[in-house]
């Protein structure tokens, strides 16, 4: 069974010189002509405005969504005190990223595939219910998790291997025991959250799992973490569906961080995640580009 892929490069969401840009997709184009092309099935993003908005409402407050939409009249501008930018087309780009993520999870839900990759931008894991941040507008993976729950997948696990902590995703599910959130990230860099003592609140205590790592951890550390921490957590939780916040800035060549994961290390990590999905949820797993 092929892997479903949806590409949303959002070329109109771009700020000259900014690291979160359409240039991130320059390597992904080779997927369509390379050795794995025959194993991929391209799907179109969900374009229905009502369906996308209903999905976003499951995570984001209406006032926040309206603020993002209304900000377009004043764009270009920054949406936070950092460098989360918006152009006049950013609202529609963010909506399209949500639509691309939903298209992948929907294809898996309908049995067209067991695995998928939503290659979408802008990313999402730093955005919470009512605040943009870290280049993120709508939290694509949180919207996907809530939508899958709405379709009957009661327990969803999210594994975030971006080099930065997925603080927005953590905030959204911090008091929800039906979503397991696991984050590996470099300690001491943006956004400064993701301490090991942040484990969820009240009925959700234990369903947030943070693994802050020192610089230069590398492939061996990630292999050990999966075996000793991530896999046992997934085994205990027994998810009905798995999602992965797939940021690749833990790679050794990334100029802004230093976790030093190699391409081989990423491949091994993805294989282990897919194996866990086979063990617990019939292989159903969707990767979503973050970072």
Active site residue ranges: 126
Is the distance from CB of 282 to CB of 113 less than 8 angstroms?
no
Q: Which of 222, 225, 220, 238 is nearest to 276 (CA)?
A: 238
Is the distance from CB of 79 to CB of 28 less than 8 angstroms?
no
Count of CA atoms in the C-beta half-sphere (13 A) of 147:
27
Residue 265: its H or E element: helix 263-281
Q: What is the dihedral of CA 14, 67, 123, 196, to 10 degrees?
A: 140
Residues 287 and 225: their CA atoms lie apart, in Å, by: 19
Residues 198 and 170: their CA atoms lie apart, in Å, by: 9
Six-digit token pair at 61? 């407050």
SS3 291: coil
Residue with tokens 């997709």: 25
């Amino acid at each position: 069974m092929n892997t479903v892929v949806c590409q949303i490069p959002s070329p109109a969401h771009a700020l000259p010189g900014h690291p979160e840009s359409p240039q991130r997709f320059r390597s992904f184009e080779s997927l369509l002509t390379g050795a794995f092309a025959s194993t991929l099935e391209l799907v179109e993003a969900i374009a229905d405005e009502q369906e996308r908005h209903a999905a976003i409402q499951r995570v984001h407050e209406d006032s926040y969504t309206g603020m993002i939409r209304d900000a377009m009249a004043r764009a270009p501008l920054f949406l936070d005190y950092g460098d989360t930018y918006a152009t006049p087309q950013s609202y529609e780009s963010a909506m399209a990223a949500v639509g691309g993520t939903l298209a992948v999870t929907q294809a898996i839900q309908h049995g067209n595939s067991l695995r998928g990759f939503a290659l979408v931008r802008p990313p999402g894991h730093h955005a919470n219910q009512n605040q943009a941040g870290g280049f993120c507008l709508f939290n694509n993976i949180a919207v996907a998790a809530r939508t899958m729950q709405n379709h009957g997948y009661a327990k969803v696990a999210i594994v975030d291997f971006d080099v930065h902590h997925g603080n927005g995703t953590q905030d959204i599910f911090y008091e929800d025991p039906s979503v397991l959130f696991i984050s590996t990230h470099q300690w001491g860099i943006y956004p400064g959250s993701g301490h090991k003592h942040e484990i969820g609140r009240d009925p959700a205590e234990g369903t947030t799992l943070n693994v802050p790592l020192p610089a230069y951890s590398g492939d061996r550390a990630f292999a050990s973490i999966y075996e000793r921490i991530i896999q046992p957590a997934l085994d205990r939780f027994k998810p009905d569906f798995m999602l992965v916040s797939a940021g690749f800035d833990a790679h050794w060549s990334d100029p802004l961080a230093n976790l030093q994961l190699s391409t081989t290390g990423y491949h091994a990590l993805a294989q282990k995640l897919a194996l866990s999905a086979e063990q617990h949820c019939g292989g159903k797993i969707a990767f979503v580009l973050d970072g």
